[in-house]
Amino acid sequence: MMTEADYYALFEAYQHGELAAPARTDLERRLSSDPVLAQRYADFADLTSTLSSYGQRLSTRRKLRAIQADLDAEQAVKLTVDDEVLETGNPQMPQLHISRTEQKLREFWHGHRATMMVAASVAVLAVFTTLLGLEWWKARQQPTQYGYTVLRRDVDRIKRTQRVMNKAINQIGALPAAINPGKFSGTGFALTSDGYIVTSYHVIQGADSLLIEGRDRQRYRAEPVFSDVAHDLAILRIKDRNFSGFGRLPYSFKRGTAELGEKIYTLGYPREDQVYNDGSLSARTGFEGDSAFYQISIPVNPGNSGGPLLDDRGNLIGIISGRQMDVQSAAFATKSSYLMKLVDSLSSMNSVQPYNLPRTNQLAGSSRPQQIRKLQDYVFVVKVYE
């Protein structure tokens, strides 16, 4: 019995032609008749040929490596002869001499070009989306009041003055619109017939001297008697010697709270002339729920501050104080009850010159123009010099 190794010896001898003629014909006959043996031979041939071509492959690879090494060495010593390359008709590739760092950068750029492009476009997209989104969101937040862009210039100006008023409400800001620098004006009205005047605290805030001017251009110098910062109230007294009193005041002061929806009006000096405005009482509390103020729907302007607020029957119910910037026609007025409390406490403290508040109301029952005609002489401009 022959082992497989023995067969291999036989096959090798056969391949190399070392078998004697009879043995060879015998083997060939057996190969053609015995499929198992034929398979064995095929495997053997396959194996040996693979082995030898594998050997060739390895040697070729060594050869190529050697060639490449030669080339590298040549390049290293810069011995490359150019015309040898030219001779074989090879187009010369342009050789760039670049530094090591640049080489690295180039490789990096080559490798990550696509990724970086994508990243950059995502970044750009994100930035613009954010900007546009913010813009859109802001536009949504704008109150409808500013819908017309054509109005914007005006609105901007109004906003500026509104900001001033708003500050005034919080008792930190300066005063309403000034005619010339260093001089402010507001409105005031008579508290008693003997020279007490009421205005808003923020009108006289920081004042050096005060001038009261009536409709008839009559001027009086005045001095502050008392200020109530929290309720934005100030009481002035005329100190001119030739002042002889206002005469009988036509209105009276309401001590209680006025009703919602009451028709109300005011007189003031938002400009050089007296201006009348009316509206109604819209809330019992003022800015941010301050219970010392009313909210009123009278269009007021800088300069109206300190003006009297009267109801239909001629009762004085409040003192104009300011308005809210971002809400449409929301103005605020100090409640007259707070003025009354202030006057009461002042008169109990100080008896030098008593407060003779008017007790009767001459306006009730008369028409609005008649009321105003009676009222107009008791409303003054308060001019402030710093």
Partner 1 sequence: MAKATASYTDDEFVAAIRRGDDRALAQLYRLHLPMVSHYVLQNSGTEDEAKDVYQEGIMVFYEKVRDGSLELSCQIKTYLYAVCRRLWLKRLTEKTRFGGRLDDHEPYLETGAEADLLEAEERDRRFATMGEALERLGEPCRSLLEGFYLLDKSMQQLTADFGYTNADNAKNQKYKCLVRLKKLFFTHYKEEESF
- CB of 160: closest distance to partner 1 in angstroms? 58
* Rounded least distance, CB 56 to partner 1, Å: 7
**Among candidate residues 272, 13, 201, the one with its CA nearest the CA of residue 210:** 201
Task: Output 54 or 136, the one with its CB closest to partner 1.
Answer: 54
91/147 with CB nearer partner 1: 91
Please spell the DSSP secondary structure of 135-204, one letter per residue: HHHHHHHS-GGG--GGGHHHHHHHHHHHHHHHHHHTT-S--S-EEETTEEEEEEEESSTTSEEEE-HHHH
What is the closest distance, in whole angstroms, from the C-beta atom of residue 5 to partner 1 in the complex?
A: 4
Spatial separation of the C-alpha atoms in residues 163 and 367, rounded to whole Å = 36
Question: Could you give the CA distance from residue 100 to residue 134 in angstroms, rounded to a whole number?
Answer: 46
The answer to whether 40 and 7 are in contact (CB under 8 A) is: yes
CB of 66 or CB of 123, closer to partner 1: 66
Q: Could you tell me whether strands 275-283 and 315-323 are parallel, antiparallel, or unpaired per DSSP bridges?
A: unpaired
Give the residue with the Cβ less far from partner 1, 23 or 172: 23
Q: 98 or 230: whose CB is closer to partner 1?
A: 98
Could you list the residues that contact partner 1 (CB under 8 A)?
A: 4-6, 8-9, 12, 43-44, 47-48, 50-61, 63-65, 67-68, 70-71, 81, 83-88, 90-93, 107, 110-111, 113-114
In 3-state terms, the chain is what percent helix, strand and coil (to 5)?
45, 20, 35
**What minimum distance in Å lies between the beta carbon of 58 and partner 1?**
6
**Dihedral (CA of 251, 314, 382, 207) sign:** positive
Shortest distance (Å) from residue 326 CB to partner 1: 54
State in angstroms the smallest separation of the CB of 27 from partner 1: 16
Nearer to partner 1 by Cβ, of 57 and 239: the residue is 57
Residue 238: count of CB within 10 angstroms of its CB? 19
